[in-house]
Chains A and B, each alone.
Chain A
Amino acid sequence: MHEMGIASSVLEAVQAEAARRPGAVPVKIAVRVGELSGIDPDALAFSFEALVAGTDLHSLKLEIETRPRQHRCQDCGAAFAVVDYDFACPTCGGLRTQYIGGDELELLYLELEEP
């Protein structure tokens, strides 16, 4: 359970960004969590709520975009999301596919209300 640490890192990023914009009120922070990141989205949401509760950022919303494992077919070039470890290309049926993403833990954007 390291989602509390991850939530703190997200909050620190928000605070750093807000500090550069005096008077702005952070409203929403969006993050992308890949299936292979080792982060549980529900635990992250729970930790984040607990962290901001009772602070001046209590109304800050965390939006989590989850991303499944992504592969690319080496035969036809199609990119696709892998479901249940089925690595076959859904477009051409090719079996030679390569991992291209799904371990992300990224900050996407911050929404602020500016004075």
Chain B
Amino acid sequence: MNRVVLEKKVLSENDRIAGELRERFHRHGVLCLNLISSPGAGKTSLLERTLEAFARNTRVAVLTGDIQTDNDARRLARSGFPARQITTGGACHLDARMVERALEDWRLEDLELLFIENVGNLVCPASYDLGEAAKIVVLSVTEGEDKPLKYPSIFFKSSLLVLNKIDLLPHVPFQIAEARENARMVHPEIEIVEVSCTTGEGLDAWAAWLAKQREQVRAGA
């Protein structure tokens, strides 16, 4: 019997492509952010509110992943900024090759901010590096406050937790302090903002986080 030591990542091919993408984003000074949540937590709503607040000349674009339909890209394109759908045709996550293909005829030098809205799923997207500068996990108050403990991988790998739909807090049993505590238990350094995409409450904190990330990219470029 011969034993061959392999010592490499299972997703090394995905990681190779993600590494190339990250290098391209860096070279062109593009901040790429990967938004992940369960279905219906409000990724698209958050992006709609974010895009509508940007000045018309902001160099921002969105890639949005779904298993079927281009509904989200059509919703986001109303903002007037470029939005492209990635239809995975069954896959429960985006991978780096899908992103690479979707970017094929986009000039990265024309962009400074790229949002990738992943397929609604708290599990699988966590395993696939897309070359992003940061992952952002969105959790809505209509879900359970124990989600960070049940799905530790994505909360561990995300730089920011957006707690969404806080306008509904009076109507649901969600304990927001407990949710924050659970997230910090899994990932002590995670930053947290609380927002409502319906009332606009807290979106200034989200905008400030974004501005800080963009400033860091500008300083590094």
The answer, yes or no, to whether B11 is at the interface (CB within 8 Å) is yes
Partner of A6, one of B10, B157, B188: B10
The answer, yes or no, to whether A24 is at the interface (CB within 8 Å) is yes
Q: Are A13 and B5 in contact (CB under 8 A)?
A: no
Taken together as a complex, chains A and B put the C-alpha atoms of A72 and B124 apart, in Å, by: 28
Q: Known: A1-B124, A2-B93, A103-B157. Contact between A17 and B6, CB under 8 A?
A: yes
Q: Are A108 and B10 in contact (CB under 8 A)?
A: no
The answer, yes or no, to whether A75 is at the interface (CB within 8 Å) is no
A36 contacts across to B, CB distance below 8 A:
152-153, 156-157
Residue of A nearest to B151 (CB): A38
A103 contacts across to B, CB distance below 8 A:
153, 156-157
- Indicate with 1 or 0, residue by residue over B143-161, a CB within 8 angstroms of chain A CB atoms: 0000001011110110000
The answer, yes or no, to whether B176 is at the interface (CB within 8 Å) is no
Residue of B nearest to A112 (CB): B2
- Indicate with 1 or 0, residue by residue over A39-60, a CB within 8 angstroms of chain B CB atoms: 1000000000000000000000
Among B118-135, those with CB < 8 Å from A are 123-124, 126-127
Q: Known: A2-B92, A2-B127. Contact between A110 and B3, CB under 8 A?
A: yes
Interface of B is mostly: mixed
The answer, yes or no, to whether B172 is at the interface (CB within 8 Å) is no
Residue of A nearest to B182 (CB): A85
The answer, yes or no, to whether B77 is at the interface (CB within 8 Å) is no
A110 contacts across to B, CB distance below 8 A:
3-4, 6
Among A60-99, those with CB < 8 Å from B are 85, 87
14 A-B residue pairs with CB within 8 Å: A2-B91, A6-B10, A9-B10, A9-B13, A10-B10, A13-B8, A31-B10, A36-B156, A38-B127, A103-B153, A105-B10, A106-B7, A107-B7, A112-B1
Question: Given A6-B11, A105-B10, list of 11 further CB < 8 A pairs?
Answer: A2-B91, A10-B10, A38-B127, A85-B186, A103-B153, A103-B157, A106-B8, A107-B7, A110-B6, A111-B3, A112-B1
